[in-house]
Amino acid sequence: MYKRMWIFVEGEHDSVFAKGALLPILKKGYDFVDTWQYAQEAPKKVIDFLRAMKPMQADCLFLADIDDSPCVTAKNSVLMERFREALEPSDVVVVVKEIESWYLAGADDEVCRALRIASLSRTDHTTKEQFQAMMPERFKDSVVDFMREVLGRFRLDIARSKNQSFCYLMDKLEARLKEA
């Protein structure tokens, strides 16, 4: 059976991460994997796309930054309300704090030295602003270039140990790949 998965991401930085770090893993269990940026779309369009996936039996992974929500449960409630019955709670992974924290989670001490950035033992509360403040001067004109540089040296095992929400994501993906 032809297996598909769509990774719903908020924006470009999330898409770059998903394509660089997650697609290579997911391609082991799926014939087709791609991202779809939902944050700038009307909720009805997102709901329609989610519903269109059902007859194809496509899997869905829905990533969302926790942003200002007090906890993961509250963020899940906001998403469930916004996208009604079209979104399954089991498809949602809330990124704590923001996707930039996952980029830094995969950078070990050697990578941090090579990039001349601080090595963090935990990245659970790292924000986009902190990430951008750490960027070396040569990347100041392109956040995406810096993100791709970090992803080129990304270590899954390190990321799991440095960020709890990334570890949760990987546990969820491994379970899905066993089913696929």
Beta strands in the chain (DSSP E): 4-9, 32-37, 59-65, 92-95
Q: Which two tokens stand for residue 20?
A: 């660089």
Neighbours of 94 (CB within 10 A): 23
Range(s) of the domain holding residue 42: 1-180
pTM tops 0.85: yes
Domain count, the chain: 1
Convert the pLDDT of each residue in 150-164 to its tens digit. Answer: 999 999 999 999 999
SS3 64: strand
Convert the pLDDT of each residue in 122-138 to its tens digit. Answer: 999 999 999 999 999 99
Convert the pLDDT of each residue in 45-77 to its tens digit. Answer: 999 999 999 899 999 999 999 999 999 999 999
